Chains A and B, each alone.
Chain A
Amino acid sequence: MVDIQWLIGGEAGYGIMTSGVVMGKIFTRLGHSVFDYVEYPSLIRGGHNAYYVRASSSPIHSQKKTVDILVALNRHTVAKHANELSDHGVIIYDQDFKIDDIKLPPHVVAIPTPLVQITRDQGVDKLMMNTVAIASSLALFYHDFSVYETILNDAFGRKGGDVAAKNIAVAKAGFDFILKNHNDAFKEKVVKQEQKDVIIGGAEAVALGAIRAGLKFAAIYPMTPVNTVMNVLAMHALTYNIVVKEPEDEIAGINMTIGASFTGVRSMCATSGGGFSLMTEGLGLASQTEVPIVIIEGMRPGPATGMPTWTDQGDLRFVLHAHQGDFPRIILAPGDVFEAFSMTLHAFNLADKYQLPVIVLVDKYLMEGHATLESEKLRTESQNYKIERGKILTDDEAEKETDYKRYHLVEDGISPRSIPGQKGGIALTGSDEHDEKGLYNEEAEVRIAMMNKRYKKLEMATPEIPKVNTYGADDKTLTIIAFGSTKLPVLDAMEVLKKEGITIRFLQILSISPFPAVEVTNILNNSTKTFVIEGNYSGQLEGLIKEHTGLSINNHFRKYDGRPFYFEEIVEEVKKLI
């Protein structure tokens, strides 16, 4: 079994991000399972970027601790990451870097490579040394250059001229250098397998889900880690007739989203915790006016600016409780790229059908990481999706109304909504408490009826909301409980433990609100030990479980350093418990 982790590091501005994406694509086209993870500071130039791409001939879901191939675009990368190298690790670095004084682990092979020299020989910008580096490292584990050549053609072919040819020539020179001089430096060789997968990032998956769901309007203020959502939507805006606007702030963002949805189109906004702080008043407005909206919240470490480009799960309680007063909201927590796609699809239907805000809670680790995903699974999910707009009056129905009540009290709490432009559907949609017609009203019985109506909708929605996923053992055993992207290293940890004869269960919480209390209770009661793994200081999920089930959790593992969980850490923690 091949299990290679490739790491490229260097200064921001040297194409580290692009290189990582390209290497992920190379492994995907070689039919391997891929996961990538990037660490970078919040700046444009300088600073250290590190892009990890792990690939395996068997299914994997997360990064690992050891690096097998280290590609160093500066000397600092060697110094910083040498200690991560595995016992058969190889370093590709520029021949002009002086690394003699850096202590390398035993057995590591460091290959001085003419990364810059090749760019000079080919008469191209020094910045293209990353292309040389990708090709050089490819030659370590795969013999056929064409896999990279095709990718370069795909990327640069449409630019015309000799752009693609130049790139290919530079890359080929790097590839040939290694093949000729260091063919035996790295022992793991990749054998091409049939490609069934695409490679997709969490943010791309969300954007694709939104496009498929019939999104027509998005207002997104730039913020890590949701920028890619906006970029992807904007890239396809003209093809799919979607209006993507960059508002002046997140307050405008959510209020625009509400305005567009009030007018009858599917709308969303996306942000991180800081932007969501500004959105909280709008969140309540959407609930009070019963205007359906979808919000993507990508968590990163707070408070305040915190660590903008790192990952975290500390906004769980925040999205659950944000805003004054009590009101229902749906919060879905996808754990991988497929769930990011399918839950976004689902979010739009839920918002429309139940006329309330739906939050898709993700994090930097999921949004900015890429993973392979069976393309057929994605296509099937897309094909089977039915857009459900819920109770919206048709123009004819609206015209027949003689005394239209926007907030008509009906059994299921969901009043048919009119949209502006419909004759007969004229109504005032307002933020005050209101009567059935929408007129402000502060009578106690009206308040109670409207409050009950709003909560009734959440009750009605509950049966069709995804609740939990379980993996692993069915019998009474140790159960790991987690939400969101923690799923990824947990699955890899379970695989390792299984090989060692240790079977456990994993309970993934898919819906934060409504909380799947019954399902969680049943599984916890059928567990020998319970173990919550989450990325925050105070144990927000653990507290939520206790709140909804009355059950105490025995053990926990929390991280709040901005880094994701590693399966190796989880394996170690589980072993301590059994």
Chain B
Amino acid sequence: MTELKDLEISYDNPNWCPGCGDFGIWVSIKNAIVQLNLNPWEVVLVSGIGCSSKLPYWVKTYGFNGLHGRPMPPAEAIRLANNGLTVIVIGGDGDQYGEGFNHLIHAARRNVNLTLIVHDNQIYGLTTGQYSPASDLGTKNKVTPVPTVEVPINAMSLALSAGATFVARGFAGDTKQETELIVEGVKHKGFSIIDTMQPCVTFNHKNTYSWFYERVYKLDKIGHDQKNKIKAFERAEEWPLKRFLKEGEREHIPTGIFFVEDRPTWEEGVPQISKQPLVHQSLENIDINPLIEELM
């Protein structure tokens, strides 16, 4: 049985700011691995660049910390090279919705069997607080002296239209729910995205824990049908808003599972790995003489 202590490293500790939402996601990932009883050496955490992307350093599984915006391609290839491994991709909103959004869309349409957790703090923290593709409409800070007219990216809607087969939103302030979502996401056969609202206590003074507590609600509490894509789109479009609030209006932020679909995975479309992962296949006796024969 895998226990929490099996996932702890002895030589370093997370260096996130005290109170950072990354802690909640970190705890939830470890809880989920324990609940799923995964062998730590058969889990690969793949991340990009940003505060959240350092997470793999602090979980004792295999980790690959690549380039900004680019954790998805290596993660996809890891699944093809060894489909026995559990792959979890970690990135921030800048990493996944800015620099590397392209890859997210393609991984979703391919239905690669991996789980993406986006630490969505709606800001660039590591570079000291610039607005991000997920920042609210009207965000005004040091790099946007004029309130931005750019509407925030709607990750849930985009993931749905791209063909993601498991679409969910979590909140770093609710680790119980976040753990459940990760467990379900990993168990799901196909591409799962968990957009996790993660307050940046240092640079985002608007979207705070209390701001979220006052606005989030759970989809499973209102009888949402996870199989209904149209309903999923409707819920996804509730937030983030592409308009300014009306007088006295407050956002409603759905959390939980928006949509689940059963569709063949990318890996299932590769007969070369149906019997044995690529990495375990023998390289002995590769005979290219038949190919040379064809050149005669």
Which of B's residues lie within 8 Å of A, judged by CB?
11-12, 39-42, 44, 46, 49, 54, 56-57, 60-67, 70, 72-78, 80-82, 84-85, 102-103, 105-106, 270-273, 278-279, 281, 283, 286, 288-289, 291-292, 295-296
Closest Cβ–Cβ distance, residue A76 to chain B (whole Å): 33
Partner of A204, one of B67, B270, B295: B295
* Docked CA distance A553–B78 (Å): 48
**A16-31 toward B: CB 8 Å interface, digit per residue (1/0)?**
0000000000001100
Query: B296, A258: Cβ atoms under 8 Å?
Result: no
Chain A residue with Cβ nearest B84 = A421
A424 close to B (CB within 8 Å): yes
* Docked CA distance A262–B76 (Å): 12
* Docked CA distance A253–B66 (Å): 14
Closest Cβ–Cβ distance, residue A395 to chain B (whole Å): 10
Contacts known (A198-B292, A216-B278, A243-B272); A427 close to B67, Cβ less than 8 A:
no
CB neighbours (8 Å) of B286 from chain A are 211-212, 214, 240
**A399-436 toward B: CB 8 Å interface, digit per residue (1/0)?**
00000000000000000000111111111111110000
A42 close to B (CB within 8 Å): no
Query: B295, A248: Cβ atoms under 8 Å?
Result: no
Query: A429, B65: Cβ atoms under 8 Å?
Result: yes
Which of A's residues lie within 8 Å of B, judged by CB?
28-29, 195, 198-200, 204, 208, 211-212, 214, 216-217, 219, 236-238, 240-243, 245, 247-249, 251-253, 255-260, 262-267, 281-282, 285, 289, 375, 378-379, 382, 387, 389, 419-432, 437, 439-440
Partner of B44, one of A29, A375, A420, A431: A420
Closest Cβ–Cβ distance, residue B156 to chain A (whole Å): 21
* Docked CA distance A263–B42 (Å): 11
Closest Cβ–Cβ distance, residue B6 to chain A (whole Å): 10
Partner of B271, one of A238, A262, A429: A238
Query: B73, A241: Cβ atoms under 8 Å?
Result: no
* Docked CA distance A440–B11 (Å): 12
Query: B295, A421: Cβ atoms under 8 Å?
Result: no
Partner of B76, one of A256, A375, A425: A256
* Docked CA distance A285–B54 (Å): 16
* Docked CA distance A232–B11 (Å): 48
* Docked CA distance A265–B273 (Å): 13
CB neighbours (8 Å) of A257 from chain B are 77
CB neighbours (8 Å) of B70 from chain A are 251-252, 255, 281-282
CB neighbours (8 Å) of B273 from chain A are 243
* Apart from A259-B73, A259-B81, A265-B81: 14 A-B pairs, beta carbons within 8 A: A198-B296, A200-B295, A208-B288, A211-B288, A248-B105, A258-B77, A259-B64, A259-B78, A260-B80, A421-B62, A423-B39, A425-B62, A427-B62, A439-B57
Closest Cβ–Cβ distance, residue A450 to chain B (whole Å): 15
* Docked CA distance A265–B80 (Å): 10
* Docked CA distance A454–B202 (Å): 37
Chain A residue with Cβ nearest B106 = A248
Query: B278, A243: Cβ atoms under 8 Å?
Result: yes
* Docked CA distance A379–B72 (Å): 40
CB neighbours (8 Å) of A217 from chain B are 77, 80-81, 278
CB neighbours (8 Å) of A245 from chain B are 77, 80
Chain B residue with Cβ nearest A251 = B70
CB neighbours (8 Å) of A243 from chain B are 80, 270, 272-273, 278
CB neighbours (8 Å) of B281 from chain A are 216, 241
Query: A216, B81: Cβ atoms under 8 Å?
Result: yes
* Docked CA distance A262–B289 (Å): 30
Closest Cβ–Cβ distance, residue A536 to chain B (whole Å): 30
Query: A420, B62: Cβ atoms under 8 Å?
Result: yes
Query: B77, A260: Cβ atoms under 8 Å?
Result: yes
Query: A375, B81: Cβ atoms under 8 Å?
Result: no
Query: B65, A425: Cβ atoms under 8 Å?
Result: no
* Docked CA distance A240–B283 (Å): 10
Closest Cβ–Cβ distance, residue A379 to chain B (whole Å): 6
* Docked CA distance A29–B41 (Å): 55
- Residue of B41, B63, B73, B286 with highest tally of chain A CB at under 10 A: B73
Query: A256, B64: Cβ atoms under 8 Å?
Result: no
Closest Cβ–Cβ distance, residue B159 to chain A (whole Å): 16
* Docked CA distance A423–B64 (Å): 16
Contacts known (A208-B288, A257-B77, A282-B67); A439 close to B12, Cβ less than 8 A:
yes
Closest Cβ–Cβ distance, residue B291 to chain A (whole Å): 6
Query: B11, A437: Cβ atoms under 8 Å?
Result: yes
- Residue of B60, B66, B76 with highest tally of chain A CB at under 10 A: B66
* Docked CA distance A214–B288 (Å): 11
* Docked CA distance A212–B46 (Å): 31
* Docked CA distance A253–B289 (Å): 29
Partner of B41, one of A200, A212, A237, A423: A423
CB neighbours (8 Å) of B44 from chain A are 263, 420
- Residue of B42, B75, B291 with highest tally of chain A CB at under 10 A: B291
* Docked CA distance A195–B152 (Å): 67
Chain B residue with Cβ nearest A245 = B80
CB neighbours (8 Å) of A427 from chain B are 62-63
* Docked CA distance A257–B273 (Å): 17
* Docked CA distance A136–B105 (Å): 53
What 7 pairs between A and B have smallest CB-CB spacing? A259-B74, A259-B77, A198-B295, A255-B73, A263-B81, A430-B65, A214-B283
